[in-house]
Amino acid sequence: MSLYGLMAVFADPEALVEAARGMRERGYRHMDAFSPFPMKELDEILEIPPTRLPWAVLAGGIAGAALVYTLIWYSVEIDYPINVGGRPLHSWPPFVVIAFEAGILGAALAGFLGMLAANGLPRYYHPIFNAERFTYARGGRFYLLVEADDPKYRKGVTKGQLTRLGAEIVEEVEA
């Protein structure tokens, strides 16, 4: 059994933010935090890079609209042209309606699937679930994980630092 990292438990969100900041100042980089609701402050402290998912959403939207518009255009101009009293085959205004809906669908699918892919979900096994204290359910606990592969990681030292930063319990997490 190898060690995955150290997990510190905090009683309230402010304590978690303080501890994350403190550990960062001490030079730790391989950290993750777990909270029952989103906490904006952590993004900056953990230096979470801004996500590129909005671009995926835009691309999905454009792709959906373009694909469906092309399909319609192909069907009326090439595959099955019907001349009705000389009206234009490529009458774009009604086609835009369906292309718009397809664009929304493409964007939403790209956003949802992109979020799952970027987060590596579904992932039913993760070392953090091995920690006895880790329970997402209670809601009243906030966790900071320092990974063992962090260059600054020294078993005894890190544990002491976490405790001094106000951790209620520090637990070793096995991989």
Partner 1 sequence: MAKASADSPAVLRGRHDFPEISGRIGSIVLNGRLPRHFWTAFFLCFLLVLLLLYSITYLIAVGVGAYGIDIPVAWGTMISNFVWWIGIGHAGTLISAVLLLLRQPWRASINRFAEAMTLFAVAMAGLFPILHLGRPWFFYWLLPLPNVHMHWPQWRSPLVWDFAAIATYATVSLLFWYMGLLPDLAVLRDRARSRPAQLFYGILALGWRGSAYHWSRYTIVYFLIAALATPLVVSVHSIVSLDFTFAITPGYHSTIFPPYFVAGALLSGFAMVLTIAIPLRWAFSIEDLITLRHMDNAAKLMIAAGMVVAYGYVSEAFFAWYSGEPYERAMMAQRALGPYSPLFWTMLSLNCGVLQLLWFRRVRRNMPLLFAIAIAINIGMWIERYIIVVTGPSRDYLPTSWGEQSLTWLDFGILFGSIGTFFALVFLFIRILPAITIFEVEELAEEEGKVR
Residues that bind partner 1 in the complex, under the rule CB under 8 A: 12-13, 32-39, 42-43, 46, 48, 51, 53-54, 57, 61, 71-72, 75-76, 79-80, 91, 94-95, 97-98, 100-102, 104-105, 107-109, 111-112, 114-116, 118-119, 121-126, 128-129, 135-140
Between residues 46 and 148, which has the closer beta carbon with respect to partner 1? 46
As to burial, measured by CB atoms within 10 angstroms (0-12 exposed, 13-18 middle, 19+ buried), residue 87 is: exposed
Least distance to partner 1 from the beta carbon of 51, Å? 5
Between residues 35 and 159, which has the closer beta carbon with respect to partner 1? 35
Type and span of the H or E element at 111? helix 92-119
Between residues 104 and 157, which has the closer beta carbon with respect to partner 1? 104
Least distance to partner 1 from the beta carbon of 124, Å? 5
Torsions phi, psi for 35 (to 5 deg): -140, 155
Between residues 27 and 94, which has the closer beta carbon with respect to partner 1? 94
Torsions phi, psi for 146 (to 5 deg): -110, 120
Least distance to partner 1 from the beta carbon of 163, Å? 21
Least distance to partner 1 from the beta carbon of 156, Å? 26
Task: Identify whether the C-beta of residue 11 lies closer than 8 Å to the C-beta of residue 140.
Answer: yes
Residue with tokens 């060690």: 3
Least distance to partner 1 from the beta carbon of 129, Å? 7
Q: How far is Cα 20 from Cα 172, in angstroms, rounded to an integer?
A: 17
Between residues 87 and 156, which has the closer beta carbon with respect to partner 1? 87
Q: How far is Cα 30 from Cα 34, in angstroms, rounded to an integer?
A: 14
Q: Left (φ > 0), alpha (ψ -120 to 50) or beta: where does 63 sit?
A: alpha
Q: How far is CA 151 from the centre of its chain?
A: 25
